[in-house]
Amino acid sequence: MLTGQITSAILGIAIAGAILFLVRRDHLHGPYALWWLSVAAATFVLGVFPGTVGWLGRVSGISYAPVLPIIVAVALILLRLLKLDIDRSRQERRVRRLTQKLAILERELARLGGTPVPDDDGDDS
């Protein structure tokens, strides 16, 4: 019969394995893998050492300790989402500047090279 500890330990190892597999197959970018491996490690630790939850509960003053992993998990998800938005903003800035540069360079190309090839494949946006 599986106890909660064993389930959590298996889960942690499984997540770590999946992440490493994704990195090996180049589906997941390296720096993001570190984040997910930490998630896997935390799952493993909290599972194998259930006393940790109780200790964290006492230290943080949260009366119902088992809700602590859930709170921490939600906080980490929110942080991750925030990081996603920050990254997306950065990408948006880069895309805009590239678009501008492209238009300027196309013009220079036209000026230098005579008649340009008409751009009617229509798949830019």
Q: Least CB distance from residue 80 to another protein, whole Å?
A: 22
For residues 41 and 102, which CB has a smaller minimum distance to another protein in the complex? 102
Give whichever of 25 and 111 is closer to another protein, judged by the CB atom. 111
Contact residues for 48 (Cβ-Cβ < 8 A; gap 6+) = 5, 8, 9, 12
Nearer to another protein, 38 or 89 (CB): 89
Give the interface with another protein as residue ranges (CB under 8 A).
89, 92-93, 95-97, 99-104, 106-107, 119, 124-125
